[in-house]
Structure 1
Amino acid sequence: MKKYLIQYKPFLLFIGVFFVAYVLLTLIYQYYLSRFGTAGELDGITKLVGNHTERLLQLFNDDVKFEKIPSEPYVRISYNEKIVASIVEGCNAISVIILFVSFIIAFSGKLKSTLLYVLGGSLFIYILNICRIASLCALLYYFPEKSHFLHGVLFPLVIYGLVFILWIVWVSKFSRYAK
């Protein structure tokens, strides 16, 4: 047994650090969310995502409206006077950022490069998510019958695919395992 623990130590360390970081960050985020109650109050991060998405869409189309429904925990999006989507807490990409950060911590390198990559990568994911929601709104206006494919397949594939590429770049260029 000791032989296997020694042989697989790097893998077991990665799994342990990843798991601890993921659970800790998730608990911190859940604590943050618990401060907003259940009476339809929307958390600040999701509001910010909604505001940034609205501004991005307004660059291309004046007829975009984001409406907060007082008793509901979401923002309704109208595009050319047609309701196309809603932004809920799960749309803010924090869970994707937590996954990203946990992986980077588990494969950490030098402190400065790790912190810079976590900050830069998190900002990239946030901006990518804003673009994802804006694109999704426009596409749902023109192709409402493709909503399952767009929301459930294409856009998750894009965002998780790019996060995977960020991980590959980190491991091969900056982590302590990079050559």
Structure 2
Amino acid sequence: METLKPYYPIFKFVAVFFGIYILLSISYYLFLNWDWSSYNYPDPITSQIGHQTKRILNLIGHQAETINSPKHPSVIMFINEMRIYRVIEGCNAVSVMILFTSFIIAFAQSLKKTLLFILFGIVFIYIVNLIRLVLLALIYVSYKEHAHFAHEIIFPTIIYGAVIALWLYWIKHIKNA
């Protein structure tokens, strides 16, 4: 047992990370299985991000509309009456926020700094995801041949890259400050 003692911080990090990740994931799963009204369908977060995307698209001069789809739990995005894409639960970035939060808590020191950075990180991830959805809609309208590549490669790289950058910033600048 003495030979494992130097590795206790690693074991603690892994245990806390996975414990928090599992707890938050189960909580989110229960949240998703709640019976939401048709306005918030499929769930309030996915509905909100879909409708905010529509508002930004309208603000920048596109004729965007959304409708909730009870057949497929999603918000369908239209531009100029053309169906662009469906915003599904996986598009709301909550799973990325859960991953981010679990890591930050596993490296936590000060409660106040940790909570403030989690709040900042979640807002940052939400904004990056919102921009992602707006840009993806514009790509679907103007460059449809590149939409699959953008959706599957470019935007996941950007959102996960943003999370990794936040983690590195947390470790190097805030955690021990």
TM-score when scaled to structure 1? 0.92
Alignment of 1:9-20 (within 5 A): 9-20=8-19
1:48 to 2:52 alignment: no
Q: What letter corresponds to residue 141 of structure 1 in structure 2?
A: V
1:115 to 2:115 alignment: yes
Q: Quickly say closer, same or farther: Cα 1:139–1:4, change in 2 above 3 A.
A: farther
Residue 31 of structure 2 corresponds to which residue in structure 1? 32
1:135 to 2:146 alignment: no
What is the alpha-carbon root mean square deviation over aligned residues?
1.8
Q: CA deviation at 1:165?
A: 0.2
| Stretches (4+) displaced over 3 A | none
Residue 72 of structure 2 corresponds to which residue in structure 1? 72
Q: What letter corresponds to residue 134 of structure 2 in structure 1?
A: A
TM-score when scaled to structure 2? 0.93
Task: String of CA shifts for 1:112-167, please: whole Å, max 9, x gaps.
Answer: 00000001110111111111101100011111111221000000000000110000
Q: CA deviation at 1:174?
A: 1.8
CA distance in 2, matches of 1:49, 1:9: 41
Q: CA deviation at 1:84?
A: 1.4
Alignment of 1:71-90 (within 5 A): 71-90=71-90
For structure 2, the residue ranges without an aligned partner over 5 or more in a row are: none
Q: CA deviation at 1:70?
A: 3.5
Q: Name the stretch that deviates more: 149-158 or 78-87.
A: 78-87
Q: Is the 8 A contact 2:62 2:79 kept in 1?
A: no
Task: Give the total of aligned pairs.
Answer: 175
1:154 to 2:154 alignment: yes
Q: Is the 8 A contact 1:85 1:137 kept in 2?
A: yes
For structure 1, the residue ranges without an aligned partner over 5 or more in a row are: none
Indicate the SS of the match to 2:119.
helix
Residue 91 of structure 1 corresponds to which residue in structure 2? 91
Q: CA deviation at 1:71?
A: 2.9
